[in-house]
Amino acid sequence: MKRKLLFLVVIVFQFGIKNSKAQQLPLYSQYIWNDYVINPAFTGAAGVSPIQLSYRKQWMGFNGSPETITLGGHTVIRKTMGLGGMVFKDATGGAFSQMGVLINYAYRILFNRKSSLAFGISAQLNQYCFNSNQINALDNNDIALQTGKQTGFIPDVSFGMLYQYKKQLKIGIAVNQLMQSRLKKINRNELSINQHIAHYNLMAFYTIGINELFDLKPSVLLQATAITPVQIDAGARLEYKRMIWFGMSYRHKDALVTMLGIQHRNIVISYSYDVALSAIRSTSLGSGELMIGYHIPVKKKGRSSR
């Protein structure tokens, strides 16, 4: 019976315990700052060269609840190429965790001064860790739970495309985890797969200039896999002089997100708070995500095009 319990835990890990839609990838409420991670074609398309540190705490109020830490950035090279990367640690809670590094490259075709089409690729290496010592077993003599700490590495590749019109419109599609690599070292149960599955996403941003003081920036992120339905994350930000903004978004059947941010010169700070809409809302205090960034202008007096 304990082997079945371990199998169940591994399956939960395999399909991502942080998300009710069974996504394996880390969850970002502020995907506007992590667009180049979700779609490598966004690398170098921000109008600035951002360096960003972020921390997300999922389901606050639970001991050992999931948390994600990232540090990364990207820049443009010769107007037609982008280069970037990120390191991250994703503790899914309990006995499972992962660390990883990714490197992005994007090439942009300039149709004219107004529009372009970019192609991006990302190479990623993940280290997964399973520590059975952190599981409270009913039977401590169960062989299946005496494996101790196990680690395994998985390489993978993502590919994306981005169409951009001026600084107003960005539409991108991407596929993550193309290699669908299998984690064999941690997979001690012959029945379990422990395999990456391909993730498909569509992401779009649009800027509406209300007047000289305010901009409205709606955005949408659609994500899906071959075995899960489409997850919709849609919202908008209202910006004042590109210095202060407030936003809200809705993640279908999962959370209502509020966001507040400020930019002073090249320093950007943004915080989001998720109110759970699923059954966990009765016991969770919500989820918080903080991003601190330094945006290096690409040109003199350059401003972010986000």
CATH number (domain holding residue 121)? 2.40.160.40
Rounded CA-CA distance 56/37 in Å is 15
Q: Are 226 and 194 in contact (CB under 8 A)?
A: no
Residue 303 confidence (pLDDT): 45
C-alpha 105/C-alpha 80 separation (Å) is 11
- Convert the pLDDT of each residue in 55-113 to its tens digit: 999 887 777 778 999 999 999 998 899 999 999 998 876 667 889 999 999 999 999 98
Q: Report yes or no on 304 lying in a domain.
A: no
C-alpha angle 218-202-257 in degrees, rounded to nearest 5? 45
Give the pLDDT confidence score for residue 207 in this predicted structure.
96
Number of domains in the chain: 1
Domain span at 224: 2-297
- Is residue 275 domain-resident? yes
Which pLDDT does position 147 carry in this prediction?
61
- pTM for this one? 0.83
Residues of the chain with pLDDT under 50: 1-22, 187, 189-192, 301-305
The closest of 58, 26, 40 to 108, measured between CA atoms, is: 40
Question: Is residue 281 one of the residues assigned to a domain?
Answer: yes
- CB-based contact 158:112 (threshold 8 Å): no
Residue 151's pLDDT is: 80
305 inside domain: no
Q: Is residue 203 part of a domain?
A: yes
Establish if 306 belongs to a structural domain.
no
Residue 177 included in any domain: yes
Parallel, antiparallel or unpaired: strands 208-209 and 228-240: unpaired
Is 24 inside any structural domain? yes
In the chain, beta strands by DSSP E: 48-57, 67-77, 81-93, 96-110, 115-131, 149-165, 169-176, 199-206, 208-209, 214-225, 228-240, 244-251, 255-264, 267-276, 287-297
